[in-house]
Amino acid sequence: MDNKTIIDILQGKFGKNASAVDESSDILTLTIDRSILHDVILCLKEDAALQFTFLTTLCGIHYPDVPLPLGVVYHLHNLYEKKRIRVKTFLPGADPSVSSLTDLFSAANWMERETYDFYGIIFTSHPNLKRILNVDYMDYFPMRKEYPLEDSARPDKDDRFFGR
C-alpha cells in the first residue's frame, strides 16, 4: 500500500479539500478538519484496503499566535503491511473540542485524558474526561506555551540567581 492509494481512497470518500497532505517528513501526514475527523479515522481503521487498526499514540500540540492554535496528532499503524500514518487536526483556542475516539480504540481513553490534562482539549463523548496526571485542583493547562516549567509559587528560589 503506498501513499497514493491512501490519499485516493480518502479523497474519494471525503472530497478533495478534506485533507492537506504532507509527504515531507518520515511518514505520510494528513491534516483533517475536526468535523470529519472521527469519520476519517473510522475509514482508515475499517476500510478493507487501509486497515490501520492500531492506534500508536495520540498527543496534543500548541502553536500560539495562529488562528487554530491547539491541535491533536494521531499516529496509526497497519501492523500487517507495516505502514504508519499521522493524522493532525487543529482546533480554535476558544472552543478546542473534537470528538473522542474511545469507541474505535480503547487505547484512546487515557491518551485523550492526558491531552486534556496538558492542553485543555475537550473530547466530546469521552466516558470520563478528567485530569489524569496532574493534581485535580490544578486550574490551568500546563503544557500550553504560555505557562512556565517551574512552579511560580516557590518562595525559596530567587529567579535572579537561577536565571529563568
Partner 1 sequence: MSSPGYIKVDPPEGYSEPGLFATSLDKVVGLARKNSIWPLPFATSCCGIEFMATMGAHYDLGRFGAERLSFSPRQADLLMVMGTIAKKMGPVVQQVYVQMAEPRWVIAVGACAASGGIFDTYSVLQGIDHVVPVDVYVPGCPPRPEQIINGFMKIQELVGNEPLRRRYSPEYKELLKSYGITT
Partner 2 sequence: MNKPNYTTLNLGPTHPATHGIFQNVLTMDGEKIIDTEQTIGYIHRAFEKIAERRPYYQITPLTDRLNYCSSPINNMGWHLTVEKLLGIKSTKRVEYMRIIVMELARITDHLICNSVIGVDSGAMTGFIYVFQEREKVYEIYEELCGARLTTNLGRIGGFERDFSISVLSKIRDFLDHLPKVLKEFEKLLLRNRIFMDRTINVGPISAERALNYGFTGPNLRAAGIDYDVRVTSPYCSYDDFDLKIPVGTSGDTYDRFAVRQEEIWQSLKLIRNVIDNLPEGKYYMDVPEFYLPPKQDVYNNMEALIWHFKIIMGEVNIPVGEVYNSVEGGNGELGFYLISDGGRTPYRLHFRRPCFIYYQALPEMIRGGVLSDAILTMSSMNVIAGELDA
Q: Residue 93 or residue 142: which is nearer to partner 1 going by CB?
A: 142
Q: Is the dihedral of CA 65, 94, 127, 29 positive or negative?
A: negative
Q: Taking CB under 8 A as the rule, does residue 143 contact partner 2?
A: yes
Phi, psi at 107, each rounded to 5°: -65, -20
Query: Could you give the CA distance from residue 28 to residue 126 in angstroms, rounded to a whole number?
Result: 27
Cell of 138: 490544578
Q: How large is the C-alpha radius of gyration of the chain?
A: 18
Q: Taking CB under 8 A as the rule, does residue 89 contact partner 2?
A: no
Q: Residue 8 or residue 150: which is nearer to partner 1 going by CB?
A: 150
DSSP letters, 34-96, are GGGHHHHHHHHHH-TTT---EEEEEEEEE-TTSSS-EEEEEEEEETTTTEEEEEEEEE-SSS-
- Among 5, 35, 106, 125, contact with partner 2 (rule: CB under 8 A): 106
Q: Taking CB under 8 A as the rule, does residue 159 contact partner 1?
A: no
What residues from 9 to 68 belong to the interface with partner 2 (CB under 8 A)?
24-27, 29, 53-57, 59, 61
Residue 147: CB minimum distance to partner 1, A: 8
DSSP letters, 110-135, are HHHHHHHHHH--EEET-TT-S-SSS-
Residue 70: CB minimum distance to partner 2, A: 12
Interface mask toward partner 1 for 101-140; x: CB under 8 A: --------------------------------xxx-----
Other CB atoms within 10 A of residue 76 CB? 23
Q: Taking CB under 8 A as the rule, does residue 151 contact partner 1?
A: yes
Name the site residues for partner 2 (rule: CB under 8 A): 24-27, 29, 53-57, 59, 61, 73, 75, 79, 82, 84, 86, 105-107, 109-111, 114, 118, 131-135, 142-143, 149
